[in-house]
Amino acid sequence: MEIRTLRYDHPDAVKLNDRVQLEYVERYGDGDLTPMDATQFDPPRGLYLVGYVDGEPVASGGWRAQDESPEGYSDGDAELKRMYVVDEARGRGLARRILAELEASAAAAGRSRMVLETGTKQPEAIALYESCDYTPVSKFGLYRHEELSVCLGKPLDGLVSSDGG
């Protein structure tokens, strides 16, 4: 897989975001209504990645900087958003590769913890994150009061980017 840094509003990112939103509708009855803006993923306070196999976009994910707020974030948080792999490319470790790149870039940008919100109707996602050393954290974000919401986090101390930074 070739991983490219793109803007959140790049057509390939939008294509994958549309697909993940359809999956949310199938699983929960509605898409993710969390307010997001493409500029939130611009370095150095964020990053958005798209993975390509044979020239086709098949995986995506990004992080955006968060700091202490009434929504439950803590200073130094990097919030993981829009992790997704198309059905036909699942089971090949692509999500792990995207996640590792995002963690390393957030650490290099000085973020101290990666956090994410998923839901109980996404057991595959929960299993992936738990296998990558994510543990439960206090709920945050738009869905922090929802029973189906699961919030996980991982300290970024000691992580370095793949280029040694």
Joined together, the tokens standing for residue 147 give 């029973």
Cα–Cα nearest to 67, from 82, 46, 37, 43? 46
Regarding pTM above 0.85, the answer is yes
Give the domains, in start order, of the chain with CATH numbers. 2-155 (3.40.630.30)
Asked if 114 and 99 touch (Cβ cutoff 8 Å), the reply is no
Residues 6+ apart with CB under 8 A from 58: 1, 51, 52, 85, 86, 88, 89, 94
Per-residue pLDDT of the chain (165 residues; tens, 9 = 90+): 999 999 999 999 999 999 999 999 999 999 999 999 999 999 999 999 999 999 999 999 999 999 999 999 999 999 999 999 999 999 999 999 999 999 999 999 999 999 999 999 999 999 999 999 999 999 999 999 999 999 999 999 876 544 444
In the sheet that holds 77-85, the strands lie side by side as 2-5, 46-53, 56-66, 77-85, 113-119, 149-155, 135-136
Q: What is the DSSP string of 4-72?
A: EE--TTSHHHHHHHHHHHHHHHHHHSS-------GGGGSTTSEEEEEEEETTEEEEEEEEEEE-S-TTS
